[in-house]
Copies of this chain bind each other. A is one copy, B any other.
């Protein structure tokens, strides 16, 4: 994990959590993400907008990566990392791999939708380039946001 210009993981996850808060305020499942360039700077942000925009392409990671590509003018995000509050699903995980990112840092595990569903089954999603994965960063705060959301939903229902 060679990230000489990076601040610690909590610093970036704070920004991802701020994005998740935005989702929560919009009555969306609170998930947020930021992309960090090799020099350690946050270059893009995204939060879940699936309900609002009516499309599964609106996951936090998809938006953040799309914006990062636009900013750098390249689909190859070599050396970039993504910080996301929840374990990415297979779609987002594949997008991260396709975009040739260096690593993923995530907060809470996603037992029902996480990419590890496939990893457990022997994931080989574009594994020719190695992707580093760090889990459990600010996990409790991510889980707390999710719980807030689902509690509110249950009370409404």
Which residues of A are in contact with B by a Cβ distance under 8 Å? Answer: 50, 54-57, 62, 65-66, 69-70, 73-75, 89-91, 94-95, 98-99, 113, 117-118, 120-126
A94 interface neighbour in B50, B55, B66, B89, Cβ under 8 Å: B89
- A118 & B113 in contact (Cβ 8 Å cutoff): no
Copies in the complex: 2
Q: How far is the CB of A47 from chain B (nearest CB, A)?
A: 16
- B91 & A75 in contact (Cβ 8 Å cutoff): no
- B56 & A99 in contact (Cβ 8 Å cutoff): yes
CA distance A122 to B123 in the complex (A): 8
- Known contacts being A70-B55, A91-B94, A98-B91, is A122 close to B125, with CB within 8 Å? no
Interface centre among A56, A65, A123 (most CB of B within 10 A): A56
